[in-house]
Structure 1
Amino acid sequence: MNQFPKSETFPLNTVQSKIMGPNPLKLCEELLQEHEIPKDAVVLDLGSGTGITSCMLAREYGFITYAVDLWSDPGENMRFFEEMGLSNRQICPIKADATQGLPFATEFFDAVISIDSYNYFGRDSAYLGEKLLPHVKHDGLLYFAIPGMVKDCHDNLPCELLLSWTPEQLEYMHDMDWWRTMIEPTCGVHIESISSLSCHDEAWADWLTCENEYAAGDRASMEAGAGKLLNSIGIVLRKL
């Protein structure tokens, strides 16, 4: 049985041209396997990059999706969405800096989804409670897929990791215990689950076959066995 039927509605060449790390479609689909978000819910895809996960959320799940990213071009993303059969009533790309406050009303979103991005801004202990939760409705859900480590090793970084990444880049990656400790003190949110995503190896394999400089740069570490030190972490939160 195909574990990722929604992800595989996207042609391989589209996936390879749009992804920016381990296959975000598969990470997203596994993360949402038992989701409680109703169809036509208003959903924030936070740190949406080139918009391929946003496209899946709108097209395959039926969510009204806001694709928010600081670095991608909203016009280019909208052209991609239209090529994939979506209209601006189903999906809206927006350029915004997550760390500076989001341009949305209080309790605007039914849910937040963030794939391979939350670790860039969520490592600030105040971020979740002060910058993100105010925009989520009560009882709303937040789903994060975060690249991380099996066990934090920043005090003694293995040489396999340093073949591709600097210590500064690796500061964005932590283990499940670290994320639990970061989130637990936040008022108004309950941790539903923190777990490893089983598609970790497959998502990485998809990424490493891409012909771009970033995938090529990651190969040295992964070919040296760094994959056993890394983890794809799935976090589900509920706003109280």
Structure 2
Amino acid sequence: MKKEKKFDYTPYCNGTYLMGPNVIRLLEGADLPLKKGMRVLDLGCGKGLSSLYLAKEYDVTVFAADLWISPTENYEFFRSLGMEEQIFPIYADANALPFAEGFFDAIISVDAYHYFGAEAGFFAEKILPLLKPDGFAALIFPGWKAPLPSPTPPELLLSWTEEDLTTFQPIQWWKTLFEQEEHTHLLSITELPCADDAWADWLATDNPYAIGDRPAMEHGAGKYMNFIFLKACHQ
């Protein structure tokens, strides 16, 4: 049975707050073992919609970290909803996170980790130390359903460059990467079934980036693409 949401996110799932495929749908499709009162890092929170969902649905304290969106802008958003005592916006680079080791019960990242974490050693060096010994990371990011054919399918190039597409990888690639990370236990890695709906919500907005993504998706690029859900913890 689908979990009933505690809050109506519909007014915010638009071109102002979405920065890609609908993060609310992606989080709804993920099994997150969060408990009330946990301290959570939302890494790459964008305009804070994912942070709002985590705080509202799980009653956790969220540190909403992003490099590109002003923490003041996000603070005003959280304050407008009366959440300023539960969600704390932070300006932070994923390569130099300003937190103590063992500070978080969970680190969540939605549609962001593939931009900065696709290098051997990154998770073990930059993310894992921030987790409590019994903490976990849950990462949701776009990928390929299978290794991309060569040459690159032309429909993909209607919206993205070859360089853009290098940030996507199939599940097996990510599985191999995390199995080689020191002191790391890969708990699970799977596809989320809600990818098409999350993309449809994004493409329906008036965000200029969504408009730019439409040509590829309208010509069938989605058949190559998925969203990957990965959970990992201390070994």
Task: Determine if the TM-score, normalized by the shorter chain, exceeds 0.5.
Answer: yes
Aligned to 2:37: 40
- Output aligned runs, 1:144-155, within 5 Å: 144-153=139-148, 155=150
Identify the residue that residue 10 of structure 1 maps to in structure 2.
9
Segments of 5+ residues of structure 1 without an aligned counterpart are none
Question: Residue by residue, what CA displacement relative to the aligned partner does 1:165-190 show, whole Å, maximum 9, x if unpaired?
Answer: 00000011010001011111112221
**Alignment-derived partner of residue 229 in structure 2:** 234
1:115 equivalent in structure 2: 110
Give yes or no for contact 1:7–1:56 (8 Å, CA) kept in 2.
no
- Once superposed, which parts of structure 1, at least 4 consecutive aligned residues long, lie more than 3 Å away? none
- The alignment status of 1:224 with 2:219, answered yes or no, reads yes
User: Is 1:185 matched with 2:180?
Assistant: yes
**Alignment equivalent of 2:123, drawn from 118, 121, 128:** 128
Report the CA distance shift for 1:199/1:4 in structure 2 as closer, same or farther (over 3 A). farther
- Structure 1 residues 151, 169: CA separation in 2 closer, same or farther (over 3 Å shift)? same
**Paired AA for residue 89 in structure 2:** P
Q: Is residue 7–residue 56 contact of structure 2 (8 Å, CA) maintained in 1?
A: no
Please say if residues 6 and 60 of structure 1, whose CA atoms lie closer than 8 Å, have aligned partners that are also in contact. Answer: yes
Where structure 2 has 5 or more consecutive residues not aligned to the other structure, the ranges are none
CA distance in 2, matches of 1:176, 1:6: 29
Alpha-carbon shift at residue 44 of structure 1 (Å): 0.4
Select 1:65's aligned residue among 57, 62, 65.
Answer: 62
Deviations 1:13-56 (A, max 9, x none): x2102011110111012113xx3222110000000000110011
TM-score (norm 1): 0.93
Identity of aligned residues (%): 44
Look up the equivalent residue of 2:23 and give its one-letter code: P
* CA shift digits 1:111-163 (9 cap, x unpaired): 01000000011111111001111110112111111111111226421011111
Kindly report the root-mean-square deviation, in angstroms, between the aligned alpha carbons of the 2 structures.
1.5
Matched, 1:19 2:14: no
CA positional deviation for 1:239: 1.8
Taking structure 2 as the reference length, the TM-score comes to 0.95
Taking the aligned partners of 1:233 and 1:223, their CA distance within structure 2 comes to 22
After superposition, the Cα gap between the structure-2 partners of 1:215 and 1:168, relative to the gap in structure 1 and judged at 3 Å, is same
One-letter code aligned to 1:25: I
Distance in structure 2 (CA, Å) of the matches to 1:6 and 1:126: 37
Aligned to 1:158: 153
Q: Contact conserved, 2:148 with 2:224, CA < 8 A, in 1? A: no
Structure 1 or 2: larger helix share?
Answer: 1
Residue 96 (structure 1) aligns with: 92
